[in-house]
Amino acid sequence: MSVLTQIDRRGLSIVAMVLCASGASAQNVVPLRSVQSFDAIANTQERSRALFVEAGRVIQSPRCLNCHPSGDRPFQGQGTELRLHVPNVTRGKDGMGAPALRCNSCHQATNNQASGVPGHALWHLAPREMGWVGVSLGGICEQIKDPKRNGNRTLAQIHEHMTHDPLVGWGWMPGAHREPAPGTQAEFGALIDAWIKTGAACPT
């Protein structure tokens, strides 16, 4: 067997491994329940709570929690394995890092496929008052509704943010080995919309 043939076969093996990994990643997308699947809950308040619990599967996923820390440092990790960001970075005054180590020093406008570093043009941490790590889902729900802690947004603006904000949308296109948020952004937005229309009740 020639050296070139060996290289060609190795190259094909690498391509096959990449394609298999990509397929596995796509299969790992966990679906969200549809809004209609909650219609059997007759009590509107109970249905509203149940809708938020389902939306909470996105809110409490690593794709959201990592950038919604309750302290000054973001997190990294998959599933339940959240760990503090390495290198040691802090939110800074504007949520975009300290003066000497801004978020965009490493996080560029798009995911870096070569290095695996995630990226988006709007990359930053949520304000401290929007911290979700260590907060119960009911507590997050109350926080989301509170203009003093949600960026002075109305519920309609909250829906718009969660349904159409491109940085929120990154959670479903995280690249590399990262697990995407459950479902799709459109499905998540539909759950939030139905939650609001049924009274925006919070789970206890």
Helix pair 137-145, 155-164: axis angle to 10 deg: 110
pLDDT score for 124 = 96
Give the pLDDT band of residue 2 (cuts 50, 70, 90).
Answer: very low
Q: What is the per-residue pLDDT for 12?
A: 33
Q: How far is CA 122 from CA 99, 110, 143, in A?
A: 17, 10, 23
pLDDT above 90: percentage of residues in the chain: 81
For residue 155, the model assigns a pLDDT of 98
pLDDT digits (tens, 9 = 90+) for 162-176: 999 999 999 999 998
pLDDT at 185: 98
Contact (Cβ atoms closer than 8 angstroms) between residue 120 and residue 173: no
Amino acid found at 1: M
pLDDT value, residue 80: 75
Whether pTM exceeds 0.75: yes
Confidence at residue 22, expressed as pLDDT on a 0 to 100 scale: 37
Contacts of range 181-186, beta carbons closer than 8 Å, 24 or more positions apart: 181/58, 181/61, 181/63, 181/64, 182/29, 182/30, 182/31, 182/32, 182/57, 182/58, 182/61, 183/29, 183/30, 183/31, 183/32, 183/57, 183/58, 184/32
Q: What is the pLDDT of residue 16?
A: 35
What pLDDT was estimated at residue 102? 96
pLDDT value, residue 29: 77
Per residue in 59-81, pLDDT (tens digit) is 999 999 999 999 999 999 887 78
Task: Identify the H or E element spanning 77.
Answer: strand 75-78
User: pLDDT tens, 19-49?
Assistant: 333 333 444 679 999 999 999 999 999 999 9
Q: Is the pLDDT of residue 178 over 80?
A: yes
Q: Give the pLDDT of residue 77.
A: 85
